[in-house]
Amino acid sequence: MINFMPVTLKKARKRLNINRSLKLRFIFFVTLLTFITMSLVVIFSINRERGIIIENVVQKSGMAAKTIARVASDLSSEDAASVADLCRIILKDSDINSIAIRAISGFFEERSARVLVAFPESRTRDITLKSDTESGIILREDIFQIKYYFNLVDSFDLFVPFKFKNGVGGQVWLEVSLNTAQKALNWMLWQNLVITALLTFFGGLISVFMAQFVLKPLNFLISSAQKLSEGIYDAKMSVTGPDEVSYLSTVFNEMVERLEQKEEFERRMRNLDKLATIGQLSAGIAHEIKNPLTSIRSLIELLREETGLSLEGCKSIDIALKEVDRLNKVTNEFVSLAKPHKKRNLVFFDPNEVLKDILMLLKPQFKKNGIEAHTNLNSRFSIFGETDEIAQVFLNIIINSMQAFEPDKKNKNIIINTYDTKTTCNVDIIDNGCGISQDGIARIFMPFFTDKPSGTGLGLSIVKRILDEMKAEVSVESHPGNGTAFKIAFPIKTDYSMADDGR
């Protein structure tokens, strides 16, 4: 089946799928990381609290056992039943399952334990002690040392060794329940699980908003790369910072600049090829036109020298000579615009001096047309190029400004400024003439475009060609009735080895 989906729609859907994939993966990993982190915190917290709770139960039960042992140590083994009331009171504690007081008899392997008091009574039993560890405990001088070990997961036994008043060894045994501690741990576990679930949920929500912020530069990079693939070279990124995305945006912008420079170089080469072709054609056309024009001018001058011509005939001859001169000028400018240039004499020179010479040359015309020229020549850098070509650039622009004044306009002013930046030497030529429309600005450097009856439309085209060869930038700012400003920025060169750029 043929897919009629537009290419732009396919690209948009593909970009949407990429964005969703990145976003979902980011949200998943952030949520998973939050869950794992909180789970580890819960495990650590539960183990820590479990130890604290059990230690509290042990200490509390141990105090009860020590209390019974202190009281029993003041009695003889035959009077052990006297502590029965105390045992009943302590047994009311819900954590203690049973209490037993035992008398120890015999030595080493022959030792045995006899229960003297037990609560509840069903727990009464004789125990033969065989453990060397227990033997060691019994013989310790600290008769109130607490020792305990776990029977099962829900309880543990605790005993305190002591000696009766009559010298018989004894032990106070407690069986302590962990049910209360386990309930507390279970409640704490549920609390932590709820907190973990809530934090994981909110972590997922936060990750959604974080994804918008974190993935925004990546989405912009994807969009810029797609624009670049379509040949749009203004798709540069403006992400700043020390992270990897910022570095990637810098590398991407450098790649765009190199591709743009390559495209500009190829465009220049295509233009040079066109100019070479036009130059060959124009040279032949100029030869065929200029030779007849020379003959026509000679014949017209011979007619002017004839006597008996009327005043109207003389005026007609003058008009014919002017038209021949105009055609000759157009032919010369056309050849100058199109022909490829031979190797030029490139030097460093002061643009201020070139402007002063041109203003001196045009001074009579300024005076004749009532134009005042104002200069602010503050540039300190030199321009690298051919002096005659730069002079032609300045001359063509100034003449264009002179032609922009209406005959009856008063206060005709042309301002020429030169100044420097870190990388350019700048020349501004400003007039307060009739101005240029936005459509005219867009076509002002096109060959044969002119809005003046006497213009050829080639002067500013020659200006653009010379400045392009010098890799200089020229811009025009104008509004109808508010004058025009030509702004030229020459690149600053400091080494004669760079002369190859203009040859």
Instruction: Write out pLDDT tens, residues 360-378.
Output: 888 888 888 889 999 999 9
Number of H helices, E strands in the chain: 10, 12
CA angle in degrees (0–180, nearest 5) for 356-359-364? 145
The token pair at 257 is 């600049």
Block residue for tokens 């945006």: 249
Residues constituting the chain: 503
User: Average pLDDT, stretch 443-456?
Assistant: 69
The token pair at 376 is 């602010």
| Separation CA 303–CA 323 (nearest Å) | 16
Phi, psi angles (nearest 5°) of residue 491: -70, 145
CA angle in degrees (0–180, nearest 5) for 349-352-357? 95
User: Average pLDDT, stretch 106-110?
Assistant: 52
| Separation CA 372–CA 447 (nearest Å) | 29
In angstroms, what CA-CA distances link 143 with 63, 100, 126, 131, 430?
A: 13, 16, 21, 18, 110
Bigger pLDDT: 400 vs 10:
400
| 384, pLDDT greater than 80 | yes
Which helix (H) or strand (E) segment is 206 a member of? Answer: helix 179-229
Nearest CA to 349 among 411, 425, 292?
A: 425
Asked whether the beta carbons of 376 and 420 are under 8 A apart, the reply is no
DSSP 50-97: HHHHHHHHHHHHHHHHHHHHHHHHTS-GGGGGGGHHHHHHHHTSTTEE
Task: Give whichever of 8-12, 48-52, 116-120, 356-360 has the largest mean pLDDT.
Answer: 356-360
Q: How confident is the model at residue 425 (pLDDT cuts 50, 70, 90)?
A: very high
pLDDT at 205: 82
Which helix (H) or strand (E) segment is 160 a member of? Answer: strand 155-163
| Separation CA 111–CA 128 (nearest Å) | 7
User: Average pLDDT, stretch 459-482?
Assistant: 85
